[in-house]
Chains A and B, each alone.
Chain A
Amino acid sequence: MTGLFPGFLTLSAAMFALGALGVMLRRNPLVVFMSIELMLNAGNLALITYARYTHTMAGQVFALIVIAVAASEVVVGLALITGVYRSGRRLDIDDLSEMRE
């Protein structure tokens, strides 16, 4: 157990908690998506921290895959948000919560 390992892991936990807070508290779907990105980045930081301190490569490989997943998630999510906007609704999570049709 060396050096900055607790620091990296604590920062990762703080970023994840802030991202979760953003998803639950904010009403703008764009900010919610950015908070999800924040949580994915926190996960990446934890993965790479463990890869570095346990001398394994799996963490880095999966961090790369998480980045690809995040990119595709952003593409689909932003397409959905644009679709909602074009249908004339307000961009507000609380207004879109009915899940009807």
Chain B
Amino acid sequence: MTVIFGIAAVLAFFGAVGVVVSRRTIYSALSLVANMVALAVLFLLLDAQFLAAVQIIVYAGAVMVLFVFIIALLAPGVEERLRPLELRVLVGGIAAIAFTVVIGRLALNGITVNAAGQFHGGLGPFSPQAVNAHGQVQTLGEQLFTTFLLPFEVTSLLLLVAAVGAVYLSRHRRTFR
């Protein structure tokens, strides 16, 4: 498990680096696909099989195809290279490394856990064994339609608004003039 985590984590990290530093937009998009596939592997390691499948189908499938399609349609030019010694790149890079180190240290020392190393509020009833015995998708679906019904309904409303907005934006030809 540690070996698979290592491989997937390195792939996800360098995919993320590739998104930010690639000069061509299409390379950024392909790096993002690599990042998302690696993330799906990590979701599998975290006993979230359904979300791993959703990650592949929705993100690496639908969303990234949309991105690549738009990139091919608009054909954006090559951006100038980010120079590592430019002030904003330097400050941003140091800030990013500092943020990661701080979170990593906190996670190692026990972020959101008490002195005994237990999570505040203790462990919930959904241990991986219990979830797998009941069925991963069944558990997720039951939670989604009972405890989290309101967020679910609000999300459906959001999707409707997004669909209407996209149709509106692509209908009017002179909106942005």
List residues of chain A with CB under 8 Å of any chain B CB: 1, 3-22, 24-28, 30-31, 33-35, 37-38, 41, 44-45, 48-49, 51-58, 60-65, 67-76, 78-87, 89, 91
Among residues of A, the one whose C-beta sits closest to the C-beta of B118 is: A1
Tell me the complex Cα distance, A12–B106, Å. Answer: 13
Per-residue A-contact encoding for B29-54, CB less than 8 Å = 1, 0 else? 10010011001001101111011001
How many A-B contacts at CB < 8 Å in the complex?
Answer: 242
Query: Residues of B contacting A34 with CB < 8 Å?
Result: 19, 28-29, 32, 67
Contact-residue size bin, chain B (C-beta under 8 Å from the other chain)? 35 or more
Tell me the complex Cα distance, A86–B176, Å. Answer: 9
Among residues of B, the one whose C-beta sits closest to the C-beta of A79 is: B169
A10 contacts B107, C-beta separation under 8 Å: yes
Query: Residues of B contacting A31 with CB < 8 Å?
Result: 19-20, 22, 25, 28, 79
Query: Residues of B contacting A60 with CB < 8 Å?
Result: 48, 50-51, 140, 143
